[in-house]
Amino acid sequence: MRASLNDGLGFSFMTGLGESYLPAFVLAIGLGEINSGLIGGVPLLFGALFQLLSPVVVQRLNSYRKSLVFFAGAQCLLFLPLTWGAWQGSLSTLAVFAIASLYWGTGMAAGTVWNTLMGSLIPGRLRARFFASRTRLTYAGTMISFLAGGLVLQALSPQFGPSVFAALFLVAGLGRVYSTINLSRHSDYIPSFVRTNVASVSEFLKLSADPHAKQWLAFVLALKFGVYFSAPYFTPYMLQKLQLSYLEFSILTMVAFIGKIAFLPRLAEYARRHGTKTIVWLGGVGVSLLPAFWIFLSSFWSLFFVQLLSGVVWAAFELAFSLFVLESIPGRYRMGVLAVFNVSQSILIVLGTVLGGIVLSSLGTSLNAYFWVFGISTALRVLACLPLRGLPLSNIEVFTVWRSISVRPSGGGIFAPFFERLKRPDGRFPWHRRR
């Protein structure tokens, strides 16, 4: 278990200093505001498609540990061209997108294997305490490294320009190397049976046939489309239009991250005591209204509180989604079904990102162009909440551990849940109607 803690620490430094600063790096080397936004959304589709290979690799290597080390090791190597390009102060658009796509592909594939392996290795009586300790360590590592990155950029970029990013990416890559070494020290779990992608698609279609599950899926997928219409463009908006310093940018981003991790356990406890209906509506409506604040507010301290609110409502949304997944998808199918869902979600994420970029570009990337993107995104998010009407939710008990896999200004980051358990006394889905 010590190896897993060390892995988490190395992974957190990669998260805080690596991909999280990639949109800012794209701006720094002069690839423009549109590409800075697109880099935050488009590569996710390749990542989701690539992770469908994880069951195949596990089956071929006949080992979860070897598969995990393979994907993590490949991710390490991607920091070499990224660091070199940053040191030179130049990297082509194609190269940046290729690196980002492979980064997400190997990372998401490693994540699905990691979930399965850790669920098998950690004894049930130790899981809650162990994963709580690991989560605190990784959150602390992510926060410290991300803020340190902002301080380094603030202090050195006026003198050294984009080459400062080389130091960040080098340390991020070394963090992943340290993580991979510790992953190789894990005990192994030999798969006796791995669900194929055909079985995963079949289970996903069965899930989609349930009328209440269909409402949930429509809500989540439509909301992600609306979110990514604007979310990838907050970084260029803050750095180019608001002219925030790197330190101010990193603080605002981290405030949302802190708000999310501070309120996740409190919201889970509220859901256990009072049911999930309020949590779902807080997440859905709260996330929907966030872009509107950016139209009317521009000072650092006003955005500080907006970002804190952003962390809270995103925590509510992600908790609600984890409840849906835990209750609706059997554990043996979960890795494959989530992979299929991620592909569907990523298609809409890319579509939203590209359409948002088209609107922004057609209006000349002016300040008003950003306001249009934020306004349209707000409307799309509100419309996405319509499937939630008439979807009653009841009390459940949940224990969910979250892994931070990226830090983003729009909501504090991308979190991946490690699903442990969810139950309700009568054993029924939390959205079932009372008869």
According to the model, what pLDDT value does residue 214 have? 74
Q: Which domains does the chain have, with CATH numbers?
A: 1-194 (1.20.1250.20), 196-435 (1.20.1250.20)
User: Is pLDDT at 395 greater than 60 in this prediction?
Assistant: no
For 113-152, write each residue's pLDDT tens digit.
Answer: 887 777 677 676 666 677 777 877 888 899 999 999 999 9
Say which residue, 88 or 430, is predicted with more confidence: 88
**250 pLDDT tier (thresholds 50, 70, 90):** very high
Measured in degrees and rounded to the nearest 5, phi and psi for residue 209 equal: -75, -25
DSSP bridge partners of 419: 400
Exposed/middle/buried for residue 218 (C-beta within 10 Å: 0-12, 13-18, 19+)? middle
Euclidean distance between CA atoms 336 and 52, whole angstroms: 8
374: region left, alpha or beta (phi > 0 left; psi from -120 to 50 alpha): alpha
According to the model, what pLDDT value does residue 434 have? 37
Average pLDDT of 404-409?
65
Average pLDDT of the chain is 82
According to the model, what pLDDT value does residue 411 have? 57
According to the model, what pLDDT value does residue 108 have? 87
Euclidean distance between CA atoms 180 and 174, whole angstroms: 10
For 301-323, write each residue's pLDDT tens digit.
Answer: 999 999 999 999 988 888 877 76
**426 pLDDT tier (thresholds 50, 70, 90):** very low
Q: Average the pLDDT over each of 67-76, 184-193, 303-312, 374-383 and give the range with the smallest value.
A: 184-193
SS3 225: helix
Average pLDDT of 169-196?
83
According to the model, what pLDDT value does residue 406 have? 63
Whether the CB-CB separation of 252 and 367 falls below 8 Å is answered with no
Q: Average the pLDDT over each of 14-23, 248-257, 318-327, 354-363 and give the range with the smallest value.
A: 318-327
Average pLDDT of 287-292?
95
User: Is pLDDT at 246 greater than 50 in this prediction?
Assistant: yes
According to the model, what pLDDT value does residue 211 have? 64
SS3 418: strand
Say which residue, 434 or 119, is predicted with more confidence: 119
- CA angle, 354 then 259 then 394, to 5°: 90
According to the model, what pLDDT value does residue 301 have? 95
**220 pLDDT tier (thresholds 50, 70, 90):** confident
Euclidean distance between CA atoms 353 and 225, whole angstroms: 8
Element (H, E) at 400: strand 397-406
Whether the CB-CB separation of 360 and 373 falls below 8 Å is answered with yes
Per cent of the chain over pLDDT 70 is: 78
Cα dihedral sign for 214, 215, 220, 222? Answer: positive
According to the model, what pLDDT value does residue 431 have? 37
**351 pLDDT tier (thresholds 50, 70, 90):** very high
According to the model, what pLDDT value does residue 120 have? 72
Say which residue, 392 or 231, is predicted with more confidence: 231
Average pLDDT of 417-431?
44
Task: Count CA atoms within 13 Å of residue 354 on its CB side.
Answer: 10
According to the model, what pLDDT value does residue 429 have? 38
User: Is pLDDT at 392 greater than 60 in this prediction?
Assistant: no
According to the model, what pLDDT value does residue 272 have? 73
Q: Which of 161, 265, 172, 229 is nearest to 369 (CA)?
A: 229
For 87-112, write each residue's pLDDT tens digit.
Answer: 999 999 999 999 999 999 999 888 87
Average pLDDT of 328-345?
67
Say which residue, 40 or 214, is predicted with more confidence: 40
Helices (H), 51-187: 54-61, 64-77, 79-88, 93-121, 124-160, 164-183
